């Protein structure tokens, strides 16, 4: 009887196991993409991507300040509207005052 040269592994790796390992250890992807036409560089993209958990990123010294992020336009519009001065409406004393003001025009 011959023994099989290759025996399949019994333990399987799930997507959850892979994600757990990536977030625990971290993955860095660095690459350059260049689009050229007739030896003239038209587009150059430099890519640096770090995939890691927040704890791991802090551990390796990545600046985790979120203050530099741009706010969406909707939030900015709401903020700007709230910051605008509101028109001030003064209450009128009585009807006679209204009539006098209208007659003056």
* Residue 11 burial (C-beta neighbours within 10 Å; 0-12, 13-18, 19+): exposed
Query: Encoding tokens for residue 87?
Result: 């028109």
Query: Encoding tokens for residue 64?
Result: 């985790």
Q: What is the model's pLDDT at position 1?
A: 53
pLDDT tens for 24-71 read 888 888 898 899 989 888 999 998 888 888 788 788 887 766 655 555
Q: Measure the CA–CA gap between 31 and 48, rounded to whole angstroms.
A: 7
Q: What is the model's pLDDT at position 73?
A: 63
Are residues 55 and 25 in contact, defined by beta-carbon separation less than 8 angstroms? no
The neighbouring-strand residues paired with 43 are: 35
Q: Measure the CA–CA gap between 56 and 20, rounded to whole angstroms.
A: 12
pTM: 0.40
Q: Measuring CA to CA, which residue among 56, 49, 61 is closest to residue 21?
A: 56
């Amino acid at each position: 009887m011959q023994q099989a040269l290759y025996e399949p592994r019994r333990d399987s790796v799930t997507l959850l196991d892979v994600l757990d390992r990536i977030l625990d250890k971290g993955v860095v992807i660095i690459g350059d993409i260049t689009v050229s036409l007739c030896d003239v560089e038209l587009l150059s993209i430099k890519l640096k991507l770090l995939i890691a958990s927040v704890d791991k990123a802090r551990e390796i010294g990545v600046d985790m300040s979120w203050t530099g992020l741009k706010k969406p336009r909707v939030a900015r519009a709401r903020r700007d509207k709230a910051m605008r001065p509101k028109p001030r409406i003064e209450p009128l004393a009585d009807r006679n005052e209204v009539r006098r003001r209208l007659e003056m025009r």
